[in-house]
Amino acid sequence: MEEKGEILSPILRRASRLRRLDTIYKDLLRISIDSDDMSLRNYLAAMQEGQVLLIKVDSEGIESLTPEEKIKLTRVLNRISVLYENSLLARIRGKSATPLSDDISLEARITSLRNDLEVKEGQKIIDRVVEMFVKPLGYESIDAVLARMDSIKEQAHKRNLSSPRVQDGQLEINAGDLLKGIEDDVLGYILQNGSIAREYLGVNADSKSKTPFDMDTAMVLQEDLESDLHQVINSSPAQRYGTIIILVRDRGQFIRTDQQEVVNLKYNPQKYELFYSGIDTERHYGVRTGIPSTEIDAIILPEPLLDENQNSTLRREQIFFNIANNGFYIPVVNPEGKFIFTEEDYNRYRLDGQRIQEAINQGKFSPSEFIDILKECPYLKKLYEMSSGVGEGYSTEQHTQMVMDQFEKYFSADFKSTFLTNGDFRLMLALHDIGKPLSIYATGSTSAQHEYTKRVLTYALQATGIPPQKVDTIMCLVDQDILGEYFKDQINSQDAATQINTLAETIGVSPKELVDILRMFYICDAGSYTADAGGVPSLDYLFRFDPQNGTASFSDEVENKYQELLRRLI
């Protein structure tokens, strides 16, 4: 920032180093909140849960907590410790957080954090965290932040649907509108987290941008309106940054600092700083730090994405699916400005969360009927009908149904878990391989299946209405194959135990409970490649199935390996 100070935004350029950092922090938090960032929502929900546990400790003592609650509280305390370590308070005091080693009691951890954070008499720890980290944006509580995250999407949805241009089915542009070029693989991230400068994406994401620490855009000038939309895009520097164009209208949310002789450095949470850079052309403008996804007014797709070949269709439908299940409507148009994603399309691609919840929690559950509900979404229907890439020749739907049938046959009736319900597990199984056909199509193998599955799950789970903590948990469970790798001798028992312990800490459960869930998941998944599941015999040697008594277990050899793993768990 200091080396490139002359080409920063006017506010960042004229601010002191400390004010720059404070401004950028507030920008990033604001963008995250107004994009309804799922990771932030999950973090806040965990803090709320920690608040409940801390109140319970204050009123009933630490002995009132269950083992699972102690694990969750430890996780929250560790997070708060990290927050303190990275706070201005810690830097000013020159004092690190009190080490939270395993030999320190929970009571001692709580006391040390109260001291580190300078919690006032009668003040709760979480309230102090809110005071330090989100009150600078005007929020008095976590509930207030979550309420904003809910309302901002609703506002964007209504705004984009009520636009006269949407009703006419033809996009028009105005002088002052901003265009930003991106690639379609970035759009998924932007919808969830907002569009921010690459410099904020981590130490390995530094860009060689001539205008660092801002979002590059191209402004539509008055003279551009003499041409049609296709010509405007082709002549715009925006298309140099990506083939998909994001349109953001100036609705009064910007403040032009390049036109002010004296720049007000006081943070304005109601405005985004827009300034002329002119690096590429006279249309080149920067927005300091970036904008939330809820500021997007339209998305313009290029001609290649409108073709009817399978590659274009999959990429286009993924965009429709992501928008619909992100929770607010964004018009999508072709280069001529004609709408190709309408409100009706939005409703077709959006999963019905209430209906899904009712289906997965009903007493008489049918995997095939539930998959049919998911297939009402055109994108999921296409993925289910594609190959799962296995030698047995199953489609993704066939494999998924056999996995779910195994669960219903052997585990559903007696399912027990402190962190997932029976319905949650059903939903996870229904979507656990949904990205496999995308991996096969894109790479020719299933090697990247977890990556592609997460891309779909991120949006699908969000739309089902399950709590954000469970979204994270299901994502973690789907994004691993610890038992599979262990049983195939790709990792040893100690490595497998270490991975399970780490995953258990991440989720906030005991390793023993987690490994029970992993065992069940593995038997359902791998056990679908057996004659017992109604398929081609393949992995039958790994299991012992007794359908009459409703039991499923490992074969003797596999069970011995499993017991070895259990002995190594914490």
Q: Is residue 70 over pLDDT 60? A: yes
Domain boundary residue, one of 347, 372, 391: 347
pLDDT value of residue 390: 79
Residue 95 pLDDT level (bands cut at 50, 70, 90): low
pLDDT value of residue 383: 96
pLDDT value of residue 198: 86
Question: Distance between CA atoms of 564 and 493, rounded to whole angstroms?
Answer: 7
Closest by CA position to 274, among listed 295, 292, 289: 289
pLDDT value of residue 35: 97
Q: Is residue 14 over pLDDT 60? A: yes
Q: What is the pTM of this model?
A: 0.92
Do residues 104 and 228 both lie within one domain? no
Consecutive H or E run containing 217: strand 214-219
Q: Is residue 289 over pLDDT 60? A: yes
Question: Distance between CA atoms of 494 and 568, rounded to whole angstroms?
Answer: 7
Is the pLDDT higher at 523 or at 391?
A: 523
Does residue 540 belong to any structural domain of this protein? yes
Domain boundary residue, one of 92, 113, 137: 137
Question: Distance between CA atoms of 131 and 300, rounded to whole angstroms?
Answer: 41
Do residues 373 and 289 both lie within one domain? no
What are the two backbone dihedrals, phi and then psi, of residue 530, each rounded to the nearest 5 degrees?
-140, 165
User: How large a percentage of the chain has pLDDT more than 70?
Assistant: 95
Q: Is residue 2 over pLDDT 90? A: no
Three state DSSP letters for 231-298: HHHHCCHHHHCCCEEEEECCCCCEEEHHHCCCCCCCCCCCCEEEEECCCCCCCEEEEECEECHHHCCE
Kindly report the length of the chain: 570
Q: For all residues of the chain together, what is the average pLDDT?
A: 91
Does residue 22 belong to any structural domain of this protein? no
Question: Distance between CA atoms of 197 and 192, rounded to whole angstroms?
Answer: 15
Q: Which residues touch 305 (CB under 8 Å, ≥6 apart)? A: 184, 243, 244, 312, 315, 316, 319
If you search the block for the tokens 């059903």, which residue do you land on? 426
Do residues 370 and 506 both lie within one domain? yes
CB-CB contact of 394 with 443 (8 Å): no
Does residue 26 belong to any structural domain of this protein? no
pLDDT value of residue 247: 97
pLDDT value of residue 465: 83
Does residue 8 belong to any structural domain of this protein? no
Domain boundary residue, one of 119, 137, 155: 137
| Other residues' Cβ atoms within 10 Å of the Cβ of residue 545 | 20
Domain that holds residue 78: 35-137
Residue 466 pLDDT level (bands cut at 50, 70, 90): confident
Do residues 398 and 410 both lie within one domain? yes
Do residues 341 and 424 both lie within one domain? no
Q: Is residue 101 over pLDDT 70? A: no
Question: Distance between CA atoms of 54 and 48, rounded to whole angstroms?
Answer: 10
Do residues 381 and 515 both lie within one domain? yes
Residue 98 pLDDT level (bands cut at 50, 70, 90): low
Instruction: State the total domains in the chain.
Output: 3
pLDDT value of residue 381: 97
Q: Is residue 480 over pLDDT 90? A: yes
Do residues 250 and 283 both lie within one domain? yes
Do residues 252 and 357 both lie within one domain? no
Do residues 121 and 41 both lie within one domain? yes
Closest by CA position to 400, among listed 375, 422, 379, 418: 375
- What phi-psi label fits residue 54: left (phi over 0), alpha (psi between -120 and 50 degrees) or beta? alpha
Tell me the sheet residues that pair with 90.
Answer: none
pLDDT value of residue 444: 84
pLDDT value of residue 71: 87
Does residue 4 belong to any structural domain of this protein? no
- Distance set, CA 424 to CA 417, 420, 421, 474, 480 (Å): 10, 6, 5, 8, 17
The model's pLDDT over 339-373, given as tens digits with 9 standing for 90+, comes to 999 999 999 999 999 999 999 998 889 999 999 99
Does residue 467 belong to any structural domain of this protein? yes
Q: Is residue 102 over pLDDT 60? A: no
Question: Mean of the pLDDT values across residues 417-433?
Answer: 95
pLDDT value of residue 100: 55
Q: Is residue 140 over pLDDT 90? A: yes
Question: Distance between CA atoms of 195 and 35, rounded to whole angstroms?
Answer: 9
Does residue 122 belong to any structural domain of this protein? yes
Does residue 69 belong to any structural domain of this protein? yes
Q: Is residue 204 over pLDDT 60? A: no
Task: Label the pairing between strands 284-288 and 272-276.
Answer: antiparallel
Question: Mean of the pLDDT values across residues 309-338?
Answer: 94
pLDDT value of residue 332: 96
Residue 138 pLDDT level (bands cut at 50, 70, 90): very high
Do residues 85 and 187 both lie within one domain? no
Do residues 321 and 365 both lie within one domain? no
Residue 279 pLDDT level (bands cut at 50, 70, 90): confident
Question: Distance between CA atoms of 290 and 200, rounded to whole angstroms?
Answer: 10
Residue 280 pLDDT level (bands cut at 50, 70, 90): confident
Do residues 328 and 391 both lie within one domain? no
pLDDT value of residue 92: 82
